[in-house]
Copies of this chain bind each other. A is one copy, B any other.
Amino acid sequence: MAGRHSRSLTGSKVRQMHRHANLRPNMDRLWSTLARSAEIGTTARGGLRRLALTAEDGEVRRVFQRWCEEAGCQLTVDGIGNMFAVRPGQEADGKVVLVGSHLDTQIKGGRFDGILGVLAGLEVIRTLNDHGIETRLPVAVVNWTNEEGARFEPPMIGSAIFTGDKSLDFALSRTDKDGITLGAALDAISFRGTGGLRPDQCDSLFELHIEQGPRLDAAKIQLGVVTGAFAVRGFVVEVIGETGHVGPTPMPDRHNALVGAAHVTLAIEEIGWELHPTGGKSTTMRLVAEPNLLGILPDRVEMTCDMRHPDNAVVSQALERFIARLPELEAKSRCKIRLHEGWSYGGMAFDRDRVGLVRGAAEALGYTHMDMLTEAGHDAMHVANHLPTAMIFTPCEGGLSHNELENVTLADIEPGVNVLLQAVLARAA
C-alpha cells in the first residue's frame, strides 16, 4: 500500500518497515512521560510556562537526559544547547535518523506543543530497546533550543544554528526582556555544549507535532501527513505620531499613534478575511505604545504582524495590497506609518520520499489521514532545506494551542506515534 506513494529508491525501506510492521509503542509509558513533563513549570490553569533556558527548562532537560541515558543513548549537546540523544546503529558511519521537536513552551503554553514530538521520539527508542531491535542507521532524539521564541527572538533559533542559517555568535548574543543573553542563560543551566550533530551526519528528520489548528479534530481524521508549510511573511509596523497633552490639544491638531495603530490593525484584519476563503490569514499579534502614559498623546507604536497563506505568491500580493493602503491609513490617522523589514519562512514542500513514508505508514496501519500544510512555524522547516524531512500532525482538542488549555487524549496521539515509529524504521531499520 505504501508502495503506491513510494519511489523505487525507497522500496527497500518499505520492505524493512514491513519487517517490524507489528511493532507498537508503549502508549501508557509515553503518556506517563508526558505527565512527568507536565509537572515542570505547571501554571495555575494546568498549562506550562517553561521558557527556553530558564530553571524549568533546565529541569526538564535533565529529566530528559536521564531518560535518554537510561535508554542507552549517548547525549551530545551543541553550542546552542540542542540536545541529541543518539542510539547507535549497525553501520559504523551510518547517517543518523533524527526524530524530535522541542521541550520549551510559551509563557502560557500547553503540555503537548513540541513536547509530544520529543517524548514520542524517546518512546520510539524505548520500543526498539524493548524488542532488542538493532537498526542499520543510528536513531537520535533531538530537543531543539528556543523553538518558541517566547524568551529569545527569533523563534526556532536552535535549528537555525544546526543548519547554519544563523551564526552562533548572533544566537548567543540575543537578549531576553531582562537583558540576559542567550549565552548566559545556556551557561546558567549548564547546557552549552561542544558536540552535537551536523546536517551532513544526518539521514532524515521526522517531527511529530500536534496540529495546533482545528482541521483534524473537526473532521475526526486520525493524523495529518504534512506535505509542506504555509508561506509566512512577518513584519514590524511603526506608527509615528506626536506627543501632546491629552487635555488641551484639539482633535485636528492631534497625531495619536494609537489611532494609526487601530487603522493598521483593521486593515491587517481585513486582508486576513480576504485571504480566508483560500486558507490564509493575517494578524496583528503584538503592540507596544510609547510613552503609554496617562495625559499624553502617544507618539510611537510598534506592532508585529504577519500574513500566512499556502501560496507564496498570494501572500506576497497581500503584503503589497497592505503597503498600497499605507498612504490612506496615514491620511486617516494623521500619523506616519513605516513598514520595517521582517522575516519570511515556509512556502516550501517537505521531502517527497520521507512524506511518502509517513503516508505509507498511515495507510499500512489503516489510519484515516489527510495531506496538509503546516501553518505554524516548526524547526522541521529550517531543517527541510538541508536534509530530507517530514512532519506528522496529530489532532488536538478544538485546535487550541499556545494556550494553557491545549489538550489531547491518548487516543488522539496513538496513530501519530505509531506512524512515527514505522517511518523511522523505514529509514533506519
Contact = CB atoms under 8 A, between A and B. Distances in A.
B377 A243 contact: no
A263 interface: yes
A265 B263 CA distance: 9
A401 B245 contact: yes
A353 interface: no
A297 B399 CA distance: 13
B251 A273 contact: yes
A393 to B, nearest CB: 9
A293 B375 contact: no
B261 A376 contact: no
B285 A246 contact: yes
A229 to B, nearest CB: 9
A53 to B, nearest CB: 16
- Most B CB contacts (10 A, CB to CB) among A213, A247, A269 go to A247
A375 to B, nearest CB: 4
B106 A293 contact: yes
Nearest to A398: B253
Nearest to A401: B245
Contacts of A284: 256, 258-259, 262
4 nearest CB pairs, A to B: A213-B248, A247-B376, A262-B265, A247-B375
A314 interface: no
A336 interface: no
26 contacts: A148-B295, A149-B293, A150-B293, A211-B248, A212-B245, A213-B247, A232-B247, A242-B403, A243-B402, A244-B401, A245-B402, A247-B374, A247-B377, A249-B399, A259-B269, A262-B284, A263-B266, A285-B295, A285-B296, A286-B289, A286-B292, A286-B293, A287-B298, A288-B292, A294-B304, A297-B402
Contact of A269 (B153, B262, B293): B262
A296 B269 CA distance: 15
Nearest to A293: B150
Contacts of A272: 251
A417 interface: no
A243 B291 contact: no
A296 B106 contact: yes
A335 to B, nearest CB: 12
A297 B377 CA distance: 15
A64 interface: no
A237 interface: no
A13 interface: no
Nearest to A282: B251
- Most B CB contacts (10 A, CB to CB) among A108, A287, A402 go to A402
A283 interface: yes
Given A108-B243, A244-B400, A287-B287, A294 B250 contact: no
